[in-house]
Structure 1
Amino acid sequence: MPGAALFWTRMLKLGVVLLGLFLLDQLTFVLLDYWLLERLGFERVFWTNFSMGATLFAAATALYLAAVTVPAYSHALEPATRKMFLLAGLLVGPLAGWVLCDRYLDFLLMLGGGSFGKVDPVFGLDHGFYVFVLNGLWDVVLTLLGAAVILVVSSALAASVARRRLGEPAGMSRLVTLVGLASTPCTRVAVASLGALVAAAIFLDRYGLVVRENAKDVDPALYATSVFNGATHVDVTGFFSTYNAYFFTTAIALLMTVALVFLMRCLALAVERRSSGDAWRPQAKKAVLGMTLLLAADFAFLGAISLRQLLFVTPNQPVVQLEYIKRHIDATREAFNLEAIEQVSFVPKDGDDPLPTVEQLMAHPTLKNAPLWPGFVSRIEALVDPQHAWRVLQTNGDIVVYGPTAKIYRNQQKLRPYYDFMDVDTLRYTIDGEKTMLASAAREVPLMEPQPWLAWWGQQFMLFTHGHGLVMSPTARVTKEGEPVYYSSEIPTRAKHGALEAGRQALYYAEGAGTMAYSNVGGMEELDYPTDEGRATVTMKPDEATSVALDTLLKRLVVGWRSGQFWEIVFSGLIGPETHVHYHRTPLERIDRVAPFLFLDTDPFAFVADGETLWMVNGMTVSDRFPYSRYEMLGDMADERSGPYFGRRHRRINYVRDAIKATVDAFSGEVSLYQIADEPVVNAWASIYPGLFIPREEMPERVRAQMQYPPQLLHIQFDDIYPIYHMKDPMTFFNMEDMWDDADEVLGPMSLNQATLQGQAGSASKSTTFSIEPFYWMADTGGVLPAARDGSAKLQFVQSMVFTPEKALNLRAIPTVYQDGDDYGRLVCLTVRKGHYHLGPEQADASIDQEPGISQQFGWWQRQGTDVVRGHTTVLLVDGEVIYLEPIFILSQQNPVPQMKKIAAVIRGKARMGDTLEEAIRNALDAARIAQQSEAAARPGALVTREGPEID
């Protein structure tokens, strides 16, 4: 045994040393955060977080250390044995502290949360209790439960060691003897504490009645309850209810704890007195029988609830559940801000309605800003759709499936191998007095992955430190060659309009800047941009950025360790006190270090404002404890651009608000957070971190003019929630009478089929359909869309989605969010009147496929060895007309860069192509006018004079 004791002592010492090294490694993250937040001016944020985390770490460490070591001293063990318990405590305690300190946000929110001003109907508690307090209470209870378990185990081990010399009484089995040996007063106190905490956890769990999920799917064939979230009829009514079951089970847990402690005392006395079986067995049997009866009673109570559900509730649905369905609908609509949606009835122009002229349409600002060059839109789905994987295989990973604009930018504006475009965004600027929609991309030096041409570590960290400028082009303009018309391009970047000019074009902070970078390196200058003579260099002044000076040995050690270049950073003669390091350089990472409580939309965008290049990140406040509200997944797991932020890009929530707009200066890294919402969660965080948020009224106009609604929020509101929860009536909701589905579009390269290869007229290549995600366009309000409240923002830069009825393809709804002026965040849903038919996007795509002239052109291109790429199908509203636009790209085998060869337009079901947008609109209008006249002539008694071009 001495050999075994020595072995375990050494193993525990090794564990303590390894744990110390692990905690030292974690301390480097803390130091980096401190230095960064100090430079950003958020030192108070760091100390708020650190003080709470340190308090939790110390409390949990002391609690678990005591739970392990107190039994050793209570049982008066030998010094060598007590040393082993102490080592175990030094191992378990800090581990528990490290786990608990990671929950510091829960405790900050519990102490600083406020009120929602609404109470739940079951417990009569303010919603703030569930959103702000409940998670923190669970952290406390679970921490105490863990400590109680450790205390029971430690006490049992200590008792067994202390009493191992006691023999085995006659008539007592080995197992019973072990229990008796372990059942000292200390162990019984530990078991009693554990039982009391289990009872407390059961009692606390009753609050989960109003936030629990009853069904994960809204398909009527799959759910077993008509109330998807929150308490139901059987939960809160009658004696045999789930509400009463929590009280009953809590009492059972306490009584079982008493019986168990009594049994332990009987066995302990039997071992101490070496009693015969006749002395202790009757009392033990009584205790076991009592616990068995208590368990049976608990199961019987729960069984009675299930029987009541089966016999009295289910047969009477939905009548008995209507009240609870109503609670669920109202709570979900409030939690996802659906109550703010203005639902407007809409009947698209059709049939005999007069057709507009080409001149009227082309003069409209919506078509002047037609999104022919849309920005990259990531697929906002929980998992990568199988059709995405198929499409990637089909094109050998060609990104043109997801964004031809990005493909062309890479081909024409990358210009050097070390530059690249991580994303293309859609922005609006006021140019020559007119609001203009532009595609925009940042020319970066993406270093998220090792590059083969960066052989020396200094190239990656000291030479190629930043990107250069933004590339921009209007979404509606196309050259004769089918390429964008650039308003900002080349190196150094040249802008054709003053609103697009940036004084400092270096982009140190960008989406692809996944590594550290160093400035003011001794004897070496950074590459600013390439020139005909070689390269222009730059040395950043220390006061120009929020970088951290490597002016102490500790900073060099920490930065070297965390960068993976320890020896180079510590011993390099190039690094001196004047050297500065830039880290956490992606906008998502940087905002996350300042405000980790926010959920960030993973698609930040860069814009020029007053000569500065800024990144904007949409920050949302979320909760998973809003009573009765439905749970959904917020975020984009398929978004690879989120990079190091991957751990927090997807979250299960049942409450969300668009609350914060954060900006990051692309040159200096300076961070600003603007509070744009007045809602309880963000107000709670504002009280916890005074001065962290800048009020909306103080937001610079240059920043306000570029605000965009988070596309991931729009997606969860309208794609996941509103298609079901627009039904406010509980009976309609129960029957799922008016479910919607997101519309689909034909998108990407077309695969050849046999008919196309044989050149048959009217044949169409096979294409894959995708859900239409949120898209941007310019909407003229005051007609079909409600007039903007801000008179200066009548023309709104909006995001929209398109919906069809469930299992149908006709147009049903067009949800839209305004993004300009005082109307920012205004939600409007145009709904096509029930019983009225108008073709939807997939039907519009089908009309393009079925139009003989278009399909013949597709077939001819493909027989020439040219791939045809279908662009995004965009739904535009122009003076009551629904116009579908789709750019058609071609890819040659010699030069696989997309070229916009044609534009297809669908007006009133008639699809036509043209070399330009105006030609496509003209052709579609002519076809619609001919069809209108033909229908009028076919009516009995009609007398129609034909006008317009003749049909060949």
Structure 2
Amino acid sequence: MKKKVVFLLVLLLLAGMALFFFFSHQLVTWLWYRSLNALPQFWVPLLTKLGIRLGLGLFCFVFLFLNLRQTKRAFLELQTEVKFTPQQHFMFSAVTAFVLTLFLLPGAAPDWTVVQQYLHRTAFGVTDPIFQLDLGFYLFVYPFYQRLIVTLLGLIILTLLGVTLFYVVAQAYWYQDRKFQFWPRARIHLTILGVLFFLLKAADYFLSRCGLLFEEKPLLTGVDYTTHHIRIFGYNIMVLIAVLTALLLLLTLFKQRRHRLLIGSLGLWLCSLLLFLLVLPPLVETVLVKPNQFIMEEPYLEHHLRFTRFGFGLDRIEVKPYTLVPEADPSVLDPNHPSLANLRIWDWRPLLPAYNQLQSFRSYYTFHDIDLDRYPTPRGQKQVMIAARELDPTKIDQNWLNRHLVYTHGYGLAMNAVNQANNVGQPLFLVKDIPPVVDGSLPALELAHPQIYFGEGQDSYAIVRTREKEFDYPATGGENVTTTYQGRDGISLRRWLSRLLMAVELGDRNLILSGYIREESKILLYRNIKERVAKLAPFLIFDDDPYLVIADNRLFWMIDAYTVSRHLPYAAKHANGYNYIRNAVKVVVDAYHGTVDFYVVDPADPIIQTWQKVFPRMFKAFTAMPAALQEHIRYPEALFTVQQEMLLSFHLTDAKAFYEKEDFWSLPTQIYAHREEILEPYYVTLVLPGETQEEFLLMRPFTPRGKQNMIAWLVARCDPPNYGQLILYQLPKGTNTFGPMQIEARIGQHPEITELITLWSQSQSQLIRGNLLVIPIGGTILYAEPFYIQSNQAQMPEFKKVVLVWQDQVVIADNIEAALRRLKEEKGNALLTPVPTPAGETPAPETATPSPEAKAPALPADELFWANLERKLREAEDKFQEAKEKLQEIQELIEEAKKRTPGLN
């Protein structure tokens, strides 16, 4: 008796441990969601998944089990070599049904997000042009029905296979009079399953018609002429054929010549399938459509253009002309002009190593990324580059105490002005050092909590409020400053059970054994901000570029979140696989407390409206965002890139022009460092044409496909209340405006710049040509490109020069102010100052080519321009010849030195 009790206790203990390990992950996850006051985000997915798996799984298991149990009589009544008792048949049927259910559900069951969107779907208020169904049907209802039908078809097929196998084992078939015979009960059973299969296929064919609206073809996405008139008709016929086949199968139960009826019904289905879905469509396409393709496809191309533009928000773009001024006014080239006061000379790529060498101070600090933003100052808005100083756990001693209790956070940030460098070409920092030192022009940037517990690089847990003080930052005197976390985040480790749960979840026994943990201790989980927000909202797509914001004396991370779909009718898909995208949400994460807030910035988006129904307490209105944070929202570069890539062809709204591809665009290229690459979108501060106030904008130009001249530029407004507005400025088609690569060529051919490039290339350093910026100003285009020099040893680029190109002038100078001054001087010399000629010389006739030696009181502007151009070319040739002679002299001296010094190479 005692042995039985001991055995039972051991069994219960093992079962309890198995259950504990099984549920420990869910318990830890529940504790984490509760610490963020976000329990609905835990319960809704969990209960929906359980409902799907238990509900659908139970249905599939019962269906399979009951069908398999129907084969019991075959084993009892037929003469079979395999004998099953009723109990054995029951167990074998149950096990088989269970295994088949486990095989079916993982790949076929609908995802919890699909179910929740179906249950809380929202209408778009726009219908498709073929079936006149609201677009919400395709985004929310169609995916649910599709997965459901796939699951049920899979269930019927597995049931047919399982039941047939059981009847074969029971030998419920035989040959008689040269005919294959089935046991009557088996024949009835399999026939009913076949009827169910064809009824489900009828539903599948009916639903598949809707899937044709986002089927990709060479010419367009969606329904074309052949699909509209043949394939949809074919699917309608196949619905009827599938129902008819089901009825014919049912009739075989009552007819004597059932074999012919069975073969005839299956043959009718297969022949119809081949004819209407495989043979007729390509035949009609070849014979009727291709010879008259545009005439046949025009209305469908119009649908394709309309819905693609809607899916990517291109229909919201306002198109305006950008009129170029024939006589440019040099007065716009004022360093204090609002469009030039923040002209950027720094790129993030050369700036990042400078940050890490000048502002990391210790090997365990690092800057992961540099972002662009703007901050108000008494003298107006200042554009800056900003980066968080985060902890690099790989650079500290790898022991448990250091990794999780002592080195728990990064500290502060670095910030520099985009348009300034110091005397040695390094960034001019507005916020720097540890503790942070803030420039006097930005008094609002003082920080109450410069510690960064949640960031881009925090990938491990931290335990705070322990008996061991946390390292805060290195002091100048040599002794480190320590701190204790006072934030709101964290799961209490007061109870022994909590420590056990964490130890099991994280696989770390120190959480149980360590004596540093006390009652006040807390553990911080999911400290990487991308992982953190994805766990709270897995139904959103998050931007890969979070950026740091200082607001109300605190540090925040701002992350853009997108709602997406692949099921918008007629819309072409981007390379990322989606054909509908909206930047519906801005996510704000407190770098110290770890709190996460979701603000809806596109309340008209039906997808985010649907998720607001699912999680009514999760989302906040944009108006609820603090004003200090609203000042720092910006249009996401990732979305802007997607929209520009789609706009290359879908800026066209005329079907004929789209069909002939007569006006497709390309993204411009530039020279960065020494290679050609795509010009990335860039943030600038500009005064838009027709506006009086400067704005923070995101922009990038376009070039015609196969050409390098600039044809248009797209701008996204970032400042409230105009946030999200897109404007496409189109340049006159009858004039040539230099594109980025044409400007790069002009820069590379300029004598002064070429000479400097040659000189720099001969030293122990390399030249890095920075991002080319295209700046519309005063009816003209100004181009700016910074030059950096990087030593082969230091690997820290330094700003060296800036090149400005405006109209016919190309200048290079030490800074923006000097370059603008040179532009104004050269423009004034070229257009306003007559060319002096020696006394007594006869001026050339007006029709002759102007000569620098000719004396003319006032030549026309065009002739004066060409005269000055010829003069400058001659001066350049003289200087080049002089330099060539000097180089020859130097070469002769070197050869003489080699002769006089044996062994000199």
Question: Same fold, TM exceeding 0.5?
Answer: yes
For the pair 1:191 / 2:194, whether they are aligned, the reply is yes
Sort the Cα spacing of 1:861 and 1:342 in 2 relative to 1 into closer, same or farther, 3 A: same
Instruction: Give the SS at the match of 1:318.
Output: helix
Normalised by the length of structure 2, the TM-score is 0.85
Q: CA deviation at 1:250?
A: 2.3
Contact 1:844 1:911 in 2 (8 A): no
Distance 1:85 1:576 in 2: 55
Q: Post-superposition shift, 1:895?
A: 1.4
Measured against aligned partners, the alpha-carbon deviations of 1:842-883 in whole angstroms (never above 9, x if no partner) come to: 111111111121112111111112111111111112222311
* 1:708 has 2:634 as partner: yes
Among candidates 772, 787, 791, match of residue 691 of structure 2 = 787
- Residue 310 of structure 2 corresponds to residue 321 of structure 1: no
1:478 positional shift: 0.8
Larger Rg: 2
Could you tell me which amino acid in structure 1 is paired with residue 280 of structure 2?
A: A
Does residue 53 of structure 1 match 2:49?
A: yes
Offset of residue 609 of structure 1: 0.1
Tell me which residue corresponds to 1:203.
206
* 1:613-665 CA distance string (max 9 Å, x none): 0000111222221221111134xxxxxxxxxxxxxxxxx21111121111000
CA 1:155/1:95 → structure 2, altered by over 3 Å: closer, same or farther? closer
Aligned match of 1:692 in 607, 610, 618?
618
Cα distance in 2 for partners of 1:805, 1:828 equals 18
Please give the secondary structure, in 2, of the residue aligned with 1:883: strand
1: CA distance, partners of 2:158 / 2:465: 53
2:585 aligned with 1:663: no
Alpha-carbon distance in 2 for matches of 1:850, 1:725: 36
| TM-score, with length taken from structure 1 | 0.81
Greater shift in the superposed pair: 942-951 or 910-919: 942-951
Which residue number in structure 2 is paired with residue 506 of structure 1? Answer: 451
Q: Does residue 442 of structure 1 match 2:445?
A: no
Letter in 2 for 1:413: Q
d(CA) in 2 for partners of 1:336 and 1:905? 35
Corresponding residue of 2:425: 482
Which residue number in structure 2 is paired with residue 526 of structure 1? 470
Question: Could you say which residue in structure 1 is the equivalent of 2:175?
Answer: 169
> Separation in 2 of the partners of 1:146 and 1:631?
29
How many Å separate the matches in 2 of 1:511 and 1:172?
Answer: 76
Q: 1:321 to 1:101 in 2, by over 3 A?
A: closer
The aligned amino acid for 1:524 is: E
What is the letter of the counterpart of residue 782 of structure 2?
A: I
> Quick check: 1:60–1:96 contact (8 Å CA) kept in 2?
no
Whether 1:676 aligns to 2:601 is yes
Counterpart of 1:331 in 2: which secondary structure?
helix
Provide Cα deviations, 1:384-421, integer angstroms capped at 9, x if missing partner.
xxxxxxxxxxxxxxxxxxx0111110111111111111
| Alpha-carbon distance between aligned partners in 2 of 1:555 and 1:409, rounded to the nearest angstrom | 41
Q: Which residue of 2 aligns with 1:762?
A: none
Identity %: 25
Residue 908 to residue 29, structure 1, CA distance change in 2 (3 Å):
farther
Offset at 1:605? 0.4
**Structure 2 counterpart of 1:601:** 543
Partner amino acid, structure 1, of 2:41: V
Counterparts in 2 of 1:21 and 1:104: CA distance versus 1, 3 Å: farther
Aligned match of 2:156: 148
Shift of 1:103: 0.8
User: Relative to structure 1, is the Cα distance of residues 632 and 933 closer, same or farther in structure 2, using a 3 angstrom cutoff?
Assistant: same
Q: Per-residue deviation at 1:158?
A: 2.9
User: What pairs with 1:860-939 in structure 2 (closer than 5 Å)?
Assistant: 860-928=759-827
Q: Which amino acid aligns with 1:916?
A: N
Q: Deviations over 1:760-812 (max 9, x none)?
A: xxxxxxx311111110110113xx2x437xxxxx2110000111111000111
SS in structure 2 opposite 1:596?
Answer: coil
Distance 1:322 1:290, change over 3 A: same
Residue 141 of structure 2 is aligned to residue 133 of structure 1: yes
Cα distance 1:298–1:65, how it changes in 2: closer, same or farther (>3 A)? closer
Counterparts of 1:848-863 in structure 2, within 5 Å, are 848-863=747-762
- AA aligned to 1:888 is F
> Quick one: distance in 2 between partners of 1:825 and 1:869?
34
Q: Which residue does 1:41 correspond to in 2?
A: 37
User: In 2, distance between residues paired with 1:932 and 1:504?
Assistant: 57
Equivalent position of 1:640 in the other structure: none
The match for 2:655 is 730
Alpha-carbon separation, structure 2, partners of 1:706 and 1:777: 14
Equivalent runs, 1:226-245 vs 2, <5 Å: 228-237=220-229, 241-245=230-234
Partner amino acid, structure 2, of 1:320: M
Query: Which residue of 465, 468, 480 maps to 1:535?
Result: 480
Equivalent residue number for residue 362 of structure 1? 335
Amino acid aligned to 2:292: N
In the alignment, structure 1 residue 473 sits paired with structure 2 residue 416? yes
CA distance in 1, matches of 2:56, 2:845: 84
Q: 1:160 to 1:23 in 2, by over 3 A?
A: farther
Aligned pairs (5 A) from 1:280-679: 283-302=258-277, 303-349=279-325, 353-357=327-331, 360-375=333-348, 403-447=349-393, 451=394, 453-496=396-439, 497-521=442-466, 523-531=467-475, 532-541=477-486, 544-553=487-496, 555-563=498-506, 565-634=507-576, 652-679=577-604
For the 8 Å contact 2:767–2:788, the answer to whether it is kept is: yes
Contact 1:349–1:882 at 8 Å: present in 2 too? no
Aligned residue type for 1:346 = Y
Report the alpha carbon displacement of residue 91 of structure 1 after superposing the two structures with TM: 4.6
Query: 1:90-127 CA deviation, whole Å, 9 max, x = no partner?
Result: 45545655667771111111111111111112111111
Is 1:833 matched with 2:732? Answer: yes
Distance 2:496 2:194 in 1: 51
Residue type of the alignment partner of 1:369: N
CA positional deviation for 1:249: 1.8
Size of the aligned set, in residue pairs, is 820
Aligned partners of 2:40 and 2:282: how far apart in 1?
Answer: 53
Secondary structure of 1:367's counterpart equals: coil
Cα deviation code 1:209-232 (max 9, x no counterpart): 2222223xxxxxxxxx3xx11211
CA distance in structure 2 between the partners assigned to 1:876 and 1:100 by the alignment? 53
CA distance in 2, matches of 1:829, 1:938: 46
Unmatched 5+ residue regions in structure 1? 1-19, 216-224, 270-279, 376-402, 635-651, 749-766, 789-793
- Partners of 1:261 and 1:436 lie apart in 2 by 79
Question: 1:330-357: per-residue Cα shift (whole Å, max 9, x none)?
Answer: 111122111221111113345xx13414
Residue 194 of structure 1 aligns to a residue whose secondary structure is: helix
In structure 2, the partner of 1:219 is none
Shift in Å, 1:236: 2.3
| 1:387 matched residue in structure 2 | none
Provide the residue aligned with 1:383 in structure 2. none
Structure 2 CA distance for partners of 1:733 and 1:66, relative to 1, 3 Å: same
Partner of 2:896: none
- Secondary structure of 1:658's aligned partner: strand
Structure 1 residue matching 2:482: 3-state secondary structure: strand
Map of 1:248 onto structure 2: 237
Equivalent runs, 1:59-78 vs 2, <5 Å:
59-76=55-72, 78=85
> Structure 2: where are the runs of 5+ without partners?
1-15, 73-83, 836-843, 849-857, 876-905
**Counterpart in the other structure of 1:763:** none
* 1:116 is the counterpart of 2:124: yes
- Distance in 1 between residues matched to 2:737 and 2:346, nearest whole Å: 26
Matching residue's letter, 2:175: P
- Contact between 1:624 and 1:654, CA under 8 Å: does it hold in 2? yes
Give the 3 Å change call, closer, same or farther, for CA 938–591 of structure 1 in structure 2: farther
Distance 1:290 1:129, change over 3 A: closer
CA contact (8 A) 2:205 2:238 kept: yes
CA contact (8 A) 2:245 2:268 kept: no
Select between 292-301 and 931-940 the one with higher mean Cα deviation: 931-940
Q: 2:664 aligns with which of 701, 720, 739?
A: 739
Structure 2 residue matching 1:362: 3-state secondary structure: coil
